[in-house]
Amino acid sequence: MQSVAAAVARLDELADSPVVAELARVFADAGHELAIVGGPVRDAFLGRPVTDLDFTTDARPDRILELVTPISSAQWDVGRAFGTIAARVRGETVEITTYRADSYDGSTRKPEVRFGDSLDDDLARRDFTVNAMALALPQRRLVDPSNGVEHLLAARLTTPGTPEQSFGDDPLRMLRAARFSAQLGFDVDEDVMQAMTAMGDRLAIVSVERITDELTKLLRADRPRRGIELLVETGLAERVLPEIPALRLEIDEHAHHKDVYEHSLTVLDQAIDLERSRGHEAPDLVLRLAALLHDIGKPATKRVEPGGAVSFHHHDVVGSKLATKRLKALRFDNDTVASVARLIELHLRFFGYTEGAWTDSAVRRYVRDAGPLLERLHILTRADVTTRNRRKADRLAFAYDDLEQRIEHLQKEEELAAIRPDLNGDDIQRVLGIRPGREVGEAYRFLMELRLDEGPLGPDEAERRLRAWWDARA
């Protein structure tokens, strides 16, 4: 949180921008109120980049469109029914929404849209007080009826009215509380947490797509751990991502094992740190989902072995299947589902490397199996080391350094990322005198195994080996 003086200076700078100044002039000349509202005002106080320009006004949608058309290069009225008109002004996209005074019937999160005439009333219906501030234009007057600035200074997240009323109007706001807690680093008020705990069943009226959108925004936050912990603590995770609270496995006096829930959150933290240190500019949703979910197969595979040790055999394979099922239920796109599931399936592969030197063939297979996910697998595998035993952690880090160096060396020699057999399908058909079919596929796989085991053979040697394999097969 920056100083109030600095925030005021940023708000002045925002009001002086050509886009805002022009809109303020047009609406004032027409006798209408206009205010920058919500996120841009909040972010000015927090010193965060202002990426969206959201305005609110007493003008009705048709009038908004009439006013912005002469000063904009494009207009969109897809949100007209909800009072929102979007436009492209001086190269920037803005959204302008009529004051709202909606009512809800409790059976759906879609309101009965009613337009209002008061900025204060419009702000009172917003989700959290830190988002219920506005900068009235052109006066540049801060409008803050719910003490949002005070709550920003205290790093508190609370609602303008009672949380029960707010969440009853729109249950998705409960997930937003977790997301904003993670994005802003704010503490959620106790009464807000109590309402989240008591009203979890209200999420049933929210579409899967909206829930997934909030989870995605949460995971892309700088530190999503805070929001995930809030979802688990309030019981909301049981309703949207139940595999996470299930990781809190019971630890008894006879079968001690690592706290899988805490371990998974630590892996997520470490994956994000590595994501940044390795030069990834944008948050990697696939990597973060894989880090969070990589051990969700453990509850189903937990076994207490003779002597009291705990094992989780094949939890990588089970976890991959569980992740696929959950992410499909949340309607993530197919590429995301497949990539997360594959990373979970592969996340234990490296640990065999420390048990004995891998052959070049094993390194090639590691690269081939990871495919385009190799960099993410590097990060996930490194992040999965959470032991407090410094000697063990160093040994694993050194081993993975060695593996990455060997991969880099082999890639330079063999272009592993595009590894192919020495003969293609057409070559196989020509050499063996066969037509396209199952036998061509079998021959291709034979040559691929040779390529992985021995490296490049050259066309002549590959043809000799292929003929010998074919003769022996007959």
Rounded mean pLDDT of 413-427? 74
Q: What was the pLDDT predicted at 363?
A: 85
Q: Which of 199-203, 302-306, 325-329 has the least mean pLDDT?
A: 302-306
Q: The tokens of 286 are what?
A: 């696939």
φ, ψ for residue 373, nearest 5 deg: -90, 10
DSSP characters over 124-172: HTSS-GGGS-EEEETTTEEE-TT-HHHHHHTTEE--SS-HHHHHHH-TH
Q: The tokens of 381 are what?
A: 């595998």
This prediction has a pTM of 0.83
The Cα–Cα gap between 332 and 336 comes to 6
Return mean pLDDT, the chain. Answer: 89
- Compute how many other C-beta atoms are within 10 angstroms of the C-beta atom of residue 53: 20
Each residue's pLDDT tens digit, 27-52: 999 999 999 998 899 998 888 888 78
pLDDT above 70 coverage of the chain, percent: 92
φ, ψ for residue 47, nearest 5 deg: 75, 20
Look at residue 101 and tell me whether its pLDDT is greater than 80.
no
Rounded mean pLDDT of 425-441? 87
CA 128 to chain centre: 22
User: What structural domains and CATH numbers belong to the chain?
Assistant: 1-153 (3.30.460.10), 155-240 (1.10.110.30), 263-418 (1.10.3210), 425-473 (no CATH)
Look at residue 269 and tell me whether its pLDDT is greater than 90.
yes
Rounded mean pLDDT of 290-304? 92
- Compute how many other C-beta atoms are within 10 angstroms of the C-beta atom of residue 408: 11
Q: What was the pLDDT predicted at 437?
A: 84
Residue with the larger pLDDT of the pair 273 and 83: 273
DSSP label of 73: S
Q: What was the pLDDT predicted at 252?
A: 44
Q: What was the pLDDT predicted at 253?
A: 41
Q: What was the pLDDT predicted at 150?
A: 93
Each residue's pLDDT tens digit, 341-363: 999 999 998 876 666 677 888 88
Each residue's pLDDT tens digit, 54-65: 999 999 999 999
Rounded mean pLDDT of 318-327? 97
pLDDT above 90 coverage of the chain, percent: 57
Q: What was the pLDDT predicted at 74?
A: 94
Each residue's pLDDT tens digit, 109-119: 566 677 888 99
β-strand pairing of 53-57 with 74-76:
unpaired
